[in-house]
Amino acid sequence: MKFLHCNNMHPPLKTLFFNPFRRHHLPLRLLLHRHLHPQPPPPPPTIEYPLPHPIYTIWAANTSLGKTLISAGLSIAFLTSTSTVVNIPKKFVYLKSIQTGFPDDSDSCFVYRKFSKFFLQNRPEFSIFASNHVLNASGPAARAFLGECWESGGFGSRKVGNFGVGLRVWGEPILPHLAAESEGVALEDSELLEMLKRGMQNGVGEDGNKDVGAVCVIEIAGGVASPGPSG
């Protein structure tokens, strides 16, 4: 009987008995270090904004849970409340961070109409100017919007309601990241934060305008994987 020695094997036969992966084993200490000390994720983008006035953020884990109805209720409660400080105008700013299904589905329009209906039915003893508008729209959403009548109501300017500040809207009624991909208008986190900052500055004032009693409400988009306060 003859025995084959590995050094004398034909190269193809030798590779059958050779385990190349043995050369690539990492030391156990290194593996444990990587497992116990993973690389921290990069910090999320942030913005700096003065807080002389309340800023509320409305969160929910899905759609049709009442976020927009709460926003409408806050607008009515704030603008129709009796102020303890006389001759101080009020300003309510509603920011919808991102919106899909526009213009058929518009949360800012819902808030505007709910407040307008309440105002016209109850006729409070003050004047108000209310507006509803969009800052950025994708191409399909903008084309669908051209035939729409976007509301604004002028009843004086002692109290102001900016209900329709849609920061970024898409036409398809699907998840925002899918709508952005489909319509070719992507949106980074840093861009959205900068748009939120500009929306608050345009609504309340860049320095907060301490001579105005203001409240800002930011409504987050709803969906199955909607972000929470922790991200």
Which pLDDT tens digit goes with each residue over 88-120?
778 888 988 888 887 788 888 888 888 888 888
Task: Collect all residues with Cβ–Cβ distance below 8 Å to 45 and sequence separation of at least 6.
Answer: 189, 190, 193
Confidence tier at 69 by pLDDT (50, 70, 90): very high
The verdict on pTM exceeding 0.85 is no
Distance of alpha carbon 167 from alpha carbon 101, whole angstroms: 14
Distinct helix (H) and strand (E) counts, the chain = 7, 6
**Rg of the Cα atoms in the chain:** 28
Alpha-carbon distances of 22 from 12, 14, 19, 135, rounded to whole Å: 19, 15, 6, 59
Reading the block at residue 176, the tokens are 């925002």
Q: Where in the chain is the domain with CATH 3.40.50.300?
A: 55-219
> Counting beta carbons within 10 angstroms of the beta carbon of residue 230, is it exposed (0 to 12), middle (13 to 18) or buried (19 or more)?
exposed
**What are the residues facing 95 on neighbouring strands?**
165, 218
Q: Average pLDDT of 143-160?
A: 52
Q: Average pLDDT of 143-162?
A: 53
Distance of alpha carbon 169 from alpha carbon 98, whole angstroms: 6
Task: Collect all residues with Cβ–Cβ distance below 8 Å to 172 and sequence separation of at least 6.
Answer: 100, 101, 140, 178, 179, 182, 183
Q: Average pLDDT of 6-21?
A: 47
Q: At the topology level of CATH, where does 55-219 sit?
A: Rossmann fold (3.40.50)
Q: What is the residue-averaged pLDDT of the chain?
A: 71
Q: How many angstroms separate the first and last alpha carbons of the chain? A: 71
User: Is 154's pLDDT higher than 60?
Assistant: no
- Characterize the bridge pairing of strands 213-219 and 159-169: unpaired
